[in-house]
Amino acid sequence: MPLWKIYHPVGAFTGEDKQALSKRITEIYSPVLPRFYVGVIFQEIAADSFYIGGEPTKNFVRIHADHIARTLNSDEARARFLARVDAALDPFIKDRGFDWEFHVDETPFELWTIQGLRPPRPGTEDEKRWIAENKPSPRTHA
């Protein structure tokens, strides 16, 4: 499960922007994860509630992603992932002149459930079925 939290100035994104960006984020993961694993939350932050270095900012986007279903285990994997992130974000953030920061936290797989179900392990037949069906089911790994 990746869960992205995008903190942004009020009015930075339209509803259409949010949907388009969330689809681009989902595409980062869809080759290896069920699409329903990917969550994106947009949180507007008022101008008097966003500070960088003790000073108010009106042009900053902060993105925090939680990863559970997969971890990035090598420098090469991290570099590929960050390049895909940049490609997804650039039209909505960089190209619009926003300043931004992005980071990922990785949570242990063992501390995760979906609707009370333990998700199948990466690469298993059950996970492949979840990807194909794009929904959780009770038949999971032991």
Domain boundaries, the chain: 2-116
What confidence tens digit (pLDDT) does each residue in 8-62 have? 999 999 999 999 999 999 999 998 899 999 999 999 999 899 999 999 999 999 9
Report the pLDDT value the prediction gives residue 118, as an integer from 0 to 100.
Answer: 85
Residue 80: pLDDT over 70:
yes
In CATH, the architecture of 2-116 is 2-Layer Sandwich (3.30)
Tell which residue, 14, 37, 13, has the closest CA to residue 26: 37
Q: What is the pLDDT of residues 105-125, one digit of tens each?
A: 999 988 988 888 888 888 888
| Cβ contact 29:37 at 8 Å | yes
Q: For residue 93, with 0-12 CB atoms within 10 Å meaning exposed, 13-18 middle and 19 or more buried, which class applies? A: buried
90-99: average pLDDT: 97
Give the DSSP H or E segment for 94.
none
> What was the pLDDT predicted at 44?
97
Q: How much is the pLDDT for 138?
A: 67
